[in-house]
Structure 1
């Protein structure tokens, strides 16, 4: 019997989500040993947050452009822009996890009042939205990749995609706010 992703999008979404979140939480909690990764020179580690800020900014632009394209009925441009955003997100995540596994998380260097009332709430919302986005993104991506365009309109791609794009956009924006607080303001 042939098992096709097309026929099992929710189950495939769940599996991919669990694997992805397992990797993210494993890295953040120090469960993935750094000896599994090659060591990089310190300037490379130092550059990762700045590169990721650029990636996030470009991703914000591709999400907005992708939403505008589909509103104009330009499905091909929408698909290209959203797939570009997925590649940007994957690149961001690989770089982020590499840095976290290799060097741990970055401590907030600013005053405690800003840490408690601005930085931590912003970081928490950013992380929560990123976690919520993962299954939504897998779901709409799998729907889009396993069906011809004419069949996508008969799925929940549009409804879930709207929510995913909005939350993804907010998460990227808040990620840039976190970056500014960690590396620019303080």
Structure 2
């Protein structure tokens, strides 16, 4: 794979910062829309697909970490770009689901309720933050700024892994309460 040539750092930072703000704002606005769009029953499957996407992303992050520890840069790059691609697909799928469905309330009781909400709130908060880190890590890697990439992924990797894994756990905890079951 060819390396992207570094563009002017200020321009790249501007694009990354704009996307890092625009994505969570767009998601928040879409979540707040009361009038939902009917795109068909196929959208009922999206939370389940998102659970699979988050599971695969978690696995790819761990495999990518393994590859870089083995100094297999080509396999690491392919694995991490695949994880990034899955994250992008997840975002589109998540937006489509919440454009077409109300949020599902959690019905669990007892000790699991505060556990669920802790995981949900930390997942959501860190998912907003991780966008900026992931975009910077990908940019630095593709522009062959490896030192900056390494410095960035010290934060990016654990946050992204936590967001992916808690996404799966939150999905599994709320799955019994979806109105439309498979």
Distance 1:29 1:175, change over 3 A: same
Cα deviations across residues 46-72 of structure 1 (Å, max 9, x unaligned)?
211111111111111110111111111
Tell me the CA shift for residue 22 of structure 1.
Answer: 1.8
Offset of residue 106 of structure 1: 1.2
Match of 1:94 in 2: 92
Q: Aligned residue for 1:182? A: 174
Shift, 1:105, TM fit: 1.2
Could you tell me how far apart the structure 1 residues matched to 2:73 and 2:140 are? 14
Instruction: Give the alignment's Cα RMSD to 1 decimal.
Output: 2.1
Question: TM-score scaled by structure 2?
Answer: 0.85
5+ long unaligned stretches in structure 1: none
Render the CA deviation track for 1:79-132: whole Å, top value 9, x for unaligned. 1111100111111111111111111211112226533x1111110011111111
**For the residues of structure 2 that align with 1:59 and 1:34, how far apart are their CA atoms?**
28
1:126 equivalent to 2:123? Answer yes
- The CA distance in 1 between the partners of 2:21 and 2:117, in whole Å, is 25
Counterpart residue number, 1:11:
14
Q: CA deviation at 1:142?
A: 1.4
Q: Is contact 2:116–2:173 with CA below 8 Å preserved after alignment?
A: yes
List structure 1 segments (4+ residues) > 4 angstroms apart after TM superposition. Answer: none
What is the aligned counterpart of 2:148 among 130, 146, 156? 156
Aligned length: 172
User: Residue 29 of structure 1: CA displacement?
Assistant: 2.2
